[in-house]
Structure 1
Amino acid sequence: MLFSSLDLARDIQRAVDACGYRQMTEVQQQTIVPARKGRDIYATAQTGTGKTAAFALPILQRLLDNPEQVQADRPRALILTPTRELAEQLAESVKAYAQFTSLSVLAAYGGVKLSGQQKKLHAGVDILVATPGRLLEHLAQCNVHLTEVKYVVLDEADRMLDMGFNADVQRLLQQVSVKRQTFMFSATSNSSVNDLAKALLNNPVTVNVSKKNITAQTVEHVVYPVEERRKADLFVDLLAQENWFKVLVFTSTKAQADVLKKHLKQAKVSAAVCHGDKTQGARRRAIADFKSDKVQVLIATEVAARGLDIQGLEHVVNFNLPYLAEDYVHRIGRTGRAGTKGQAISFVSREEERSLDNIERLTGERIAR
């Protein structure tokens, strides 16, 4: 199904064309039409399936269909997302879709001063993309009011629950009119996510574009059994042997990320680190340097597992397996996107074999050793 068949506003279609979109993905086909009719949406979709456009385009269309003067401190659409990186990237995507309209977009997240965001909120924005914690701070200081919000998106709902944001999300949505349209997107489906959907959505259209919790078909999975102390040496060897040019590596802790970076520096491999102890500016620089090929390796903790959209990323390495099997799905969703081939490589110590069993049970596949 082509985007041109949707009869979108001319300025939105122009932006879609500028983004190079022609054919809709499955989640877009199932979501955009009912969303334009005002239906609530509950979608389970893997990362890399085009879900941002699936909720952003109908919201932009409905905002243009119902024009209102922008009001200070009162956005008309709210997109909640769990991490700073995701908020920033979502805002950039929505801005791209709205680039030929007069609609304004702001990302509000922690790690930077409130004052800059406060000024922009006072000037008035149509669409606010925010992390729950930072939005609660702005509400406490009366920098924003949610009474005019007509459209709400909960993106990465499962991750928000994992990170303990359930109560915050419920508090925030109590400030929004019950006469709203709500979209809920989740990479995985479980009882907690389903309970949240029942609490917040009104007779939603349910969209499930893949088998439960399954990984993308375009990703090849490989396991290297290895002792913990030998993982760094193995990684350096594989970089050279396999001629990997651009690699995203996940560690379980910030300390492991820092130690691996030192090891790579000694081996003269350029690397950057992205984790919670780094400032927002440092994390942004690390991601930008990786995207522009200034560094060969980006080492990240779970904080960067969602939303990192890096063109042409062929290799994701799990230096340590994640604590939650579902997070394996989120991590490796960085590769094999939009139909391209990717490889997920996991270094598994004897202590991690149970975690590997859980991942294989979740995905329903045995991973090659």
Structure 2
Amino acid sequence: MSFKDLQLNKPILRAVTEIGYNDPTLVQNKTIPLILKKKDIIVSAQTGTGKTAAFALPILQLLFDRQDASKKGKKIKALVVSPTRELAVQIGEDFNKYSTYTNLRATVVFGGTSIEPQKDILKKGVDILIATPGRLLDLHKQDIVNLDYVETLVLDEADLMLDMGFIDDVKKIERLCPNDKQTLLFSATIPYKVEQLANNILNTPERIEVSPNASTSKNISQLLYYVPKRNKIELCLHLLRNNIKGSILIFRRTKFGVDKLEKTLLKNGYKVGSIHGDKSQTTRQNALNEFKNGHTNILIATDVAARGIDINELDAVVNFDLPNIPETYVHRIGRTGRAKHTGLSYSFCSADEKTYVKSIEELINIQIPIEEDHPYPLDPKAKPIIHKSKKTGSKHKKGRKSIASKKKKKRWY
């Protein structure tokens, strides 16, 4: 099936062809016809399956016939709610690419940056709004955003949205939109809480599942390194010098860990950037742009900051810290080996992470090959280090009562 078979009009097809899309992906094939029929849908699809185009193209098609309202007269007819700023920016860029040959206007609003420029754009009128929940509700409170005309509501990366604690915001946003809107829910996984949300806000939805979450691409070579936690940085430097080349995405569990590794790699002369939730939006966007443009070839990130970022032709992914949720491992390494390219995945496992490996291997149904030939092997008998306080009992010295207080005194009771 080609994009022409999906009932998209010529201006949209022209933009899609210029971007270099030839045939629709599986999620696009299944989703676009249903959205054009105005059905509510719940889609389970990972990052990298082409799901942004799966909802963006049909939304542009549905709005195309009413695109010529004067700018001031434009009302928000499609709303995309996204959990992170990076993902919102990415979706906004995609909408702008696909709508090149239309008069439809899309804009992005997110927190962590000045609200005034966003207000100015919204006052001029837009057809499609992409927003993070907090900033959207702020703008609504200030009467800058009117959701009374929304025809299509998209909740993207719903599982991450709920993990980040946005459940109440999402419900509030849904209630602010008209009752007869079309709702499209996209999620990498469909845990119970996403299922509950879908039951509450979707109207007899069609379900689409694209590739089970357990599948890892055959184009990715996976390697596992058992290493003491204290030697992970040395192992990382050793592999960067000898094995890992090209564009590399390194995952760490914490923001502190991201900063620490970035400082070490910079000291060792590597071109490296980083993204995590405590960095300002501008800093994160600059780090991402520098990585995409090739000014840096290493990007260190936490899972939340990296979710949904579209980076093409990544050579390798390094799991510096193994994730405790096995599906996260699949999402991480799925960023390399895309579109018929080959990719490499390197995972560092310390003694306290051995149980994570077991869960991951059960999910992907593959035993990850172990690389033993490296300078920092983990003693097979090594047990996880459990940090215990050496102090026991009260922190106060014994016998700290004064002599006077120890004397038997007559009590009044």
Equivalent position amino acid for 1:11 in 2: P
Structure 2 unaligned segments of length 5 or more: list them: 371-413
CA displacement at 1:24 relative to structure 2: 1.0
Answer with 348-357 or 50-59: which moved more. 348-357
Alignment of 1:269-288 (within 5 A): 269-288=270-289
Q: What CA distance in whole angstroms lies between the structure 2 residues aligned with 1:73 and 1:110?
A: 23
Q: What CA distance in whole angstroms lies between the structure 1 residues aligned with 2:51 and 2:233?
A: 35
- Contact 2:249–2:298, Cα closer than 8 Å, also in 1: yes
2:405 aligned residue: none
Alpha-carbon displacement from aligned partner over 1:77-101 (angstroms, at most 9, x marks no partner): 0001110000000000011000110
Alignment of 1:279-298 (within 5 A): 279-298=280-299
CA displacement at 1:47 relative to structure 2: 1.3
Q: What CA distance in whole angstroms lies between the structure 1 residues aligned with 2:88 and 2:270?
A: 30
Q: What CA distance in whole angstroms lies between the structure 2 residues aligned with 1:297 and 1:173?
A: 39
Q: What CA distance in whole angstroms lies between the structure 2 residues aligned with 1:146 and 1:218?
A: 44
Equivalent position amino acid for 1:283 in 2: R
Equivalent position SS for 1:303: helix
Equivalent position amino acid for 1:280 in 2: Q
Alignment of 1:181-196 (within 5 A): 181-196=182-197
1:78 aligned residue: 79
Q: What CA distance in whole angstroms lies between the structure 1 residues aligned with 2:165 and 2:100?
A: 34
1:129 aligned residue: 130
2:256 aligned residue: 255
Could you say if the C-alpha distance between residues 304 and 175 of structure 1 is closer, same or farther in structure 2, counting changes exceeding 3 Å? Answer: same
* Sequence identity percentage: 44
Equivalent position amino acid for 2:276 in 1: H
What is the TM-score with the length of structure 1 in the denominator?
0.96
1:339 paired to 2:305: no
Q: What CA distance in whole angstroms lies between the structure 2 residues aligned with 1:321 and 1:348?
A: 7
Q: What CA distance in whole angstroms lies between the structure 2 residues aligned with 1:138 and 1:73?
A: 17
1:325 paired to 2:335: no
Equivalent position SS for 2:339: helix
Alpha-carbon displacement from aligned partner over 1:198-227 (angstroms, at most 9, x marks no partner): 112111221111124433343332211111
Q: What CA distance in whole angstroms lies between the structure 2 residues aligned with 1:308 and 1:112?
A: 19
Alignment of 1:51-62 (within 5 A): 51-62=51-62
Equivalent position amino acid for 1:232 in 2: I
Answer with 237-246 or 132-141: which moved more. 237-246
- Contact 1:189–1:213, Cα closer than 8 Å, also in 2: no
Alignment of 1:140-179 (within 5 A): 140-179=141-180
Q: What CA distance in whole angstroms lies between the structure 1 residues aligned with 2:143 and 2:36?
A: 32
What is the TM-score with the length of structure 2 in the denominator?
0.86
Q: Which has the greater radius of gyration?
A: 2
Could you say if the C-alpha distance between residues 33 and 76 of structure 1 is closer, same or farther in structure 2, counting changes exceeding 3 Å? Answer: same
Could you say if the C-alpha distance between residues 328 and 305 of structure 1 is closer, same or farther in structure 2, counting changes exceeding 3 Å? Answer: farther
Q: What CA distance in whole angstroms lies between the structure 2 residues aligned with 1:217 and 1:177?
A: 44
Equivalent position SS for 2:171: helix
Q: What CA distance in whole angstroms lies between the structure 2 residues aligned with 1:67 and 1:261?
A: 46
Could you say if the C-alpha distance between residues 357 and 10 of structure 1 is closer, same or farther in structure 2, counting changes exceeding 3 Å? Answer: same
Could you say if the C-alpha distance between residues 316 and 72 of structure 1 is closer, same or farther in structure 2, counting changes exceeding 3 Å? Answer: farther
1:219 paired to 2:220: yes
1:349 aligned residue: 350
Alpha-carbon displacement from aligned partner over 1:14-42 (angstroms, at most 9, x marks no partner): 11111111111111111111211111111
2:312 aligned residue: 311
Answer with 211-220 or 340-349: which moved more. 211-220
Equivalent position amino acid for 1:104 in 2: R
CA displacement at 1:361 relative to structure 2: 2.8
Q: What CA distance in whole angstroms lies between the structure 2 residues aligned with 1:71 and 1:326?
A: 45
Equivalent position SS for 2:144: coil
- Contact 1:87–1:131, Cα closer than 8 Å, also in 2: yes
1:30 aligned residue: 30
Equivalent position amino acid for 1:262 in 2: K
Could you say if the C-alpha distance between residues 318 and 72 of structure 1 is closer, same or farther in structure 2, counting changes exceeding 3 Å? Answer: farther
Q: What CA distance in whole angstroms lies between the structure 2 residues aligned with 1:33 and 1:151?
A: 15
Answer with 294-303 or 117-126: which moved more. 294-303
Q: What CA distance in whole angstroms lies between the structure 1 residues aligned with 2:364 and 2:190?
A: 13
> Could you say what the CA RMSD is over the residues aligned between the two structures, in angstroms?
1.6
1:299 paired to 2:306: no
- Contact 1:250–1:318, Cα closer than 8 Å, also in 2: yes
Q: What CA distance in whole angstroms lies between the structure 2 residues aligned with 1:323 and 1:74?
A: 44
Q: What CA distance in whole angstroms lies between the structure 1 residues aligned with 2:367 and 2:201?
A: 37
Q: What CA distance in whole angstroms lies between the structure 1 residues aligned with 2:140 and 2:23?
A: 40
Could you say if the C-alpha distance between residues 164 and 362 of structure 1 is closer, same or farther in structure 2, counting changes exceeding 3 Å? Answer: farther
Equivalent position amino acid for 1:290 in 2: F
Q: What CA distance in whole angstroms lies between the structure 2 residues aligned with 1:72 and 1:166?
A: 32
- Contact 1:8–1:61, Cα closer than 8 Å, also in 2: yes
CA displacement at 1:10 relative to structure 2: 1.4
Q: What CA distance in whole angstroms lies between the structure 2 residues aligned with 1:152 and 1:222?
A: 41
CA displacement at 1:243 relative to structure 2: 4.4
1:4 aligned residue: 4
Equivalent position amino acid for 2:365 in 1: G
Q: What CA distance in whole angstroms lies between the structure 2 residues aligned with 1:284 and 1:275?
A: 11
Equivalent position amino acid for 1:21 in 2: Y
Q: What CA distance in whole angstroms lies between the structure 2 residues aligned with 1:190 and 1:174?
A: 23
Equivalent position amino acid for 1:62 in 2: L
CA displacement at 1:316 relative to structure 2: 0.8
Q: What CA distance in whole angstroms lies between the structure 2 residues aligned with 1:73 and 1:232?
A: 53
CA displacement at 1:71 relative to structure 2: 5.2
Q: What CA distance in whole angstroms lies between the structure 2 residues aligned with 1:297 and 1:360?
A: 27
